[in-house]
Structure 1
Amino acid sequence: MTRLSAAAVLLAVVLSGTAAAVPPPPPNPSDAEISASRAEADAKAARVGELTGRLTQAEARLQELLDHVSYKRELANKARVDFETAVAEAEAARREAASARTQADAASRAVEESRKALDEFVAASYAQRSTVGSISAYFGAKSPEDLLARAQMLEAVSSSSLNALEQVTRDQGAAANLDSAARAALKRAEEKQTAADEAKRVADAAQQEAVAAHQAQASATAELESTKDSVERELVAARGEVTGLEAQRRQYDQWLDGKKREEEENARRAEAAAAAAAAAPPAPAAPARPAAAAAPAGSRVQIVINRALAQRGVIYAWGGGNHYGPTYGVRDGGVADSYGDYRKIGFDCSGLMMYAFAGAGVFLPHYSGYQYNAGRKVPLSQMAPGDMIFWGPGGGTHVALYLGGGMMVEAPHSGAVVRISPVRYGGIMPYVTRVL
């Protein structure tokens, strides 16, 4: 072997020993993607600030309307009290008017009775051809004493009747005045009751309007608060996306640094190997050997298994994972979103298979149904380490990698992590897929 060939062999050995030191490159988001993500987060933050200000104003307005409702309620209470007082006063005025009417009616009856008695007296005097104070009443007197007695009697009867009639007439006038005053008081009380009733109606209507305005403002405030909460959640998601992209960038930079160190180490070793080969004495040429056979399938299977096992503990993320490693999950509008998979960097079941088999040069699609048809079908009873196990019609529900001994490695579901599990036979497909 010549020095040059020896150096080449030594260099190949050096490089082959370090080729697997650095894993495949992780995702490397562009500056534009990171900037756009930051801009979206900033916009969400500004929107939250705006909504916070509007919500503060709405809450202040809500308090004003609540105070207004309280004021209107008190006015309604006042109107209700005034109305009840007016009703009571009107009722008292009605009783007073009824009493005055009774007194007036009694006075009228007394006047009528006095007039009737006087009329009877006059009629009797006329029937006797005598009138009060007339001279005929004095005829028949038998002595001066009798004449004087008759004069005194007639004067007394006439004066008493006339005085009684005058008193009754005065009482009737007083009763009539009392009745008139009572009716006037009743009219004023009824007018006051009517006004109080109208004031109560207006106050009640104003109270209802105030309550309706407060309810409308409360509804608007609640809607605004709901919008703010929604935007705050979007802000959290946007900031999470920024954090995720920045983390991906840091991971990529770390990978790049490692790759540079590896290349520098390879170059150093290559230079050392070349120098050592140049200094060594020439060796006799060895007989030519046939080219080495390709690595057996078993070693490729072990690479696949090792790559899958190396991801144990990585979080499940629906839609996550590719040929190079874990990635952000994607939204599904349902269960995965409720677990926040789109904010997590991890694998789903088919994404884990993509990454594991990429190490052996097999690049699978990101769908378990397609992966089911990516190789040779082998009966489940004959499955071997490195075979893919499937569940559901056409293998479209779930996929895992068989390890042997009844165990498998899988990315099971949202909220879980990549793990080793016993093979589950419920809903399992009757065939496994053998790619290697």
Structure 2
Amino acid sequence: MTAPAGRSRALRWFSTLSMTVVLTLPLGTPEVGAAPQPPDPGRERIASERAEAREKAERVGQLANKLAVAESRLHDLSVRVETKREATNKARVDLRRARRAYQRARQAVAASAERAEAAAGRVEHHRKRLDAFVAGSYKQGRRIGSLPSFLNAESPQEMLERASLLDVISRKQLDVLDDLRRARTRKANVDSVARQAAQRAEAKRVAAERARAAAESAKDAAVALQKTQRARADELRKEKAHLAAELERARANVGELRQQRRRHQQWVADRRAQEQDATAQDTPANEAPGAARAPSTAESSGADTTNSARAPSAVNTVVQRARSQLGVTYAWGGGNAHGPTKGVHDGGVADAHGDYRKIGFDCSGLMVYAFSGVGIDLPHYSGYQYRAGERVPLSQMRRGDMLFWQDGGNVHHVALYVGNGRMIEAPYSGAHVRVTSVRYDGIAPYAVRML
């Protein structure tokens, strides 16, 4: 019994010495065969990189807003150019008409001159007839129609014949005089009408020439402005694309640093678990199993952890449902809780794009579909959606909030904010559901929070 007892005491002493050595090893000392410690970028570096990425995202958003304004201005100028071009076309048509009217007036003047020559010929003819009549009267040596013309008659019959002749001659004389007066009047009237027509035609031609020149000048000025604005928009697009590429690289860098941080934290957690396992081997049995667990801070405070965990999940559901419709065509009046539907007639732009024949979403229809996934039944009208939930200032907007745009106080568009200055929207007829930067031009002062 003595020898075995000695060997037992020696084994107990050796075991105690071995445990002491293990417990006195530094916590950071890696075991043989353990994975090497991953690099730790640190919170400060990640925060710095994240802040830089956020700054670039804000700059991208600002450029996107500037680009949206520039493109809106470009659209307005394009409409203006089209208007000026149509005005130029009108001026050209008016000028051609005025030139034709002027030519017709000149022809009328020429014809009037011919008629005036004819009238002058008739006047001369009647003048000669009158001269001949007067000369014939004087050749008788007395005044025609005087008393001696009747007294020299040899019989009553001759007297009657002379009276009849004198009556005819008198009427002829009056007819000649009337014809002369009418011919002169017609000539004067024809000349006057022709001259007035020519003057009016010339005035219209001159005015049309001026209108055409003014229209051409206005059109050229509008085209020049359009070219300048298009160049500015192209410059903003290039700058935005360059900065967006930098933003993507910055986000990728932040993501890589986060992965490094998580790997390091997991490595530290594994090391601590190994150390705790080693310590637990020497822990008295009455302290390990069945020991009371101290309540966590959240549990002791009585906070509703179920609701706090549910809200992010609901927001993710809303955002993912909206994202699932990316690329779906815009259809005015389209969309419900179950997905895209056929558009409706609007009697205007939507009809011109054939929205009533398409299956898709309009802006408020997309919101109806997104929020129906979490049991929220929104009305299919952006104006009512603006009053559907809690209004928060734009400076406090967060992922899952709805953003609205107004014109004269009337809501006309809605989109879903997805964070990092981005939003999902069904923009307009002819486009598709897309992710784009938040536009601040015309945006309503409040976001609406449903979750």
TM-score, length-scaled by structure 2: 0.48
Q: Bigger radius of gyration, 1 or 2?
A: 1
